[in-house]
Amino acid sequence: MRLSELSAETGVSTASLKFYLRESLLEPGVPRTRTQADYGPAHVERVRLIRALVESGGLSLAQVRRVIDALDSPTVPRHELLGVAQDALADGTAYDEDPDWTATAVAFVEHRDWRIRDGDVLLPQLGSQLKALAETCDVGSTSTLDRWADAAEGIAAGDLDTLTDDDEQALRTAIVGTVLSDRVLQTLRRLAQQNLTATLLERATEAERQTNRPGPDSLR
């Protein structure tokens, strides 16, 4: 297919496709003439991947490049797959590291008996996030964080269950699945909040109705 057909197939403008080609995010097509090339299913798949990472995953093109570089790299040991995914997805978000809050984060993961890489950037990042929470709203005690961590462990177990025996496909799932499922989890959390709130309100309304229901004596 020509570039215009690739655009129609993927819903990505030809201008964006040309940009992907210039930035080497997309492999060149097979030359057809001096100014035209043919593109195939692999190009369709790659463009759809880039679009999903940018639009659904919210990644910058710099992050997309790291993801693609990781996907195109030689096979890595299976126990390192999620580590490679996390490295590829590092977003470089600026945060103020606070040694005291980093220590709090370290103490929490030790409390959970989680085995985390020494010096992992996620620890000061978690510390910064916990500090922001503490300074702006009341999220309860450590028990609240433990409940979140319990949920995170269940999600992580599900992530591992999705990895197939094919190392290349497993790496793709580890990286792309993490990106796209992060947004799914955010949406599911909000839907669950709505459901729980509605359920609690319904119960409270029913309890109030039962309390205010006239008894036998009131009818005499």
Which pLDDT tens digit goes with each residue over 36-68? 899 999 999 999 989 988 888 788 888 888 888
- For residue 179, being part of any structural domain is answered with yes
Q: Determine the Cα–Cα distance for residues 132 and 56; give it in Å rounded to an integer.
A: 26
Assigned domain for 33 exists: no
163-182 per-residue burial string, b: 16 or more CB within 10 A, e: under 16:
beeeeeebbbbbbbbbbebe
Beta bridge partners of 31: 37
- pLDDT the model gives residue 91: 62
Residue 68 domain-assigned (yes or no): yes
**31 SS3 class:** strand
C-alpha distance across the termini of the chain, in Å: 86
Domain of 126, in residue numbers: 57-209
Summarize pLDDT for 76-120 with one digit per residue, the tens: 666 666 666 676 666 656 678 899 999 999 999 999 999 988 888
Question: In this structure, is residue 73 part of a structural domain?
Answer: yes
pTM of the model: 0.69
Does any domain span residue 27? no
The CA distance from 155 to 179, in Å, is 13
Reported as type and span, the H/E element at residue 37 is strand 37-38
Q: How many domains does the chain have?
A: 1
Coil/strand/helix, residue 45: helix
Is 39 buried (19+), middle (13-18) or exposed (0-12) by CB count in 10 A?
buried
> Is residue 39 within 8 Å of 4, Cβ to Cβ?
no
Which residues, at least 6 apart from 217, have a Cβ–Cβ distance to it below 8 Å? Answer: none
Residue 40 placed within a domain = no
43 domain residue, yes or no = no
What pLDDT shows up at residue 35?
Answer: 79
pLDDT in tens, 125-166: 999 999 988 888 877 667 889 999 999 999 988 888 887 777
Does an H or E element contain 30, and which? strand 30-31
Could you tell me if 112 and 142 are in contact, meaning their C-beta atoms sit under 8 angstroms apart? no
Q: Is the pLDDT higher at 70 or at 211?
A: 211
